[in-house]
Chains A and B, each alone.
Chain A
């Protein structure tokens, strides 16, 4: 009963918030609604009994990724609205909806039958975090290590890409600084 109510509430709110993310012209509104939608998606994970995944979603997505986006937003001018030239919105809606549904059906149809056998079954009476830990550090150890190396590479790449010419301001008009400098020189 509570699961049903929570499912419908979370799904309605998530779809609404993500629609705001897609439709909004303001970067700040889009980012805030995306963060709220990610919190609600972690609610889905808690309903489904994937407690550890829900906590990771909260920490990584809502904590790290959204903080990174908001830091990046400070580089760009986020207060003015985004101007976008759209050719024909109706065609895009039709094409996007049809191709997405076709993709999802294509990938879901072979999975969604009764012949699927559990490869790493969940254990009764064991917490989700312990279960996940055992499988992650035995069967998925090499992907785990590769993911760690990938995160390190991404960190180095992000620092190097964003760190070039950090002394120059992106949004401030540099001609103002030049005027101030010439005034100082004149004095």
Chain B
């Protein structure tokens, strides 16, 4: 039988995958994909807790996370296009202008 722990473990694994992607990626578009993976992992955990405690609050938070992810993508892609016009690449090492 599948319990809450199973879902939380899967969610933790997917979140770890996303965090590794955030640490590993140097391309900004790929970095955005990794953040989407992390947001989805959190949504799984919210839906699972909502189901096993018979509470709708988890699903509500998942809805708002989806709304925030949608607006994040809209603004982020606009910024990516502006950066690409300015620098001609999306590599983070090329974009680093503040050298300490």
Q: Which residues of B contact A (CB under 8 A)?
A: 1-2, 4-8, 10-27, 29-30, 32-34, 36-37, 40, 43-45, 47-51, 53-57, 59-60, 62-64, 66-75, 77-82, 84-85, 90-91, 93
Contacts and interface: CB of A to CB of B under 8 A. Distances in A.
Given A19-B17, A53-B62, A161-B78, 16 more contacts: A18-B18, A18-B37, A27-B30, A30-B33, A38-B36, A41-B43, A41-B44, A53-B63, A65-B36, A69-B73, A100-B16, A116-B53, A122-B56, A132-B59, A132-B60, A155-B74
A119 B57 contact: yes
Q: What 9 pairs across the A-B complex have the smallest Cβ distances?
A: A161-B78, A154-B71, A96-B20, A100-B16, A158-B74, A22-B21, A118-B55, A104-B12, A48-B51
Interface string A28-40: 0011001001100
A111 interface: yes
7 contacts: A30-B33, A38-B40, A84-B91, A104-B11, A104-B16, A119-B55, A120-B55
A161 B2 contact: no
Contacts of A84: 24-27, 30, 91
Given A21-B21, A22-B17, A118 B54 contact: yes
Contact of A161 (B34, B47, B79): B79
Interface string A124-161: 00000001100110001001000100110111011111
A69 B5 CA distance: 33
A135 B60 contact: yes
Nearest to B38: A100
Contacts of B55: 116, 118-122
A119 B27 CA distance: 42
Contacts of A181: none
Given A15-B10, A34-B36, A151 B67 contact: yes
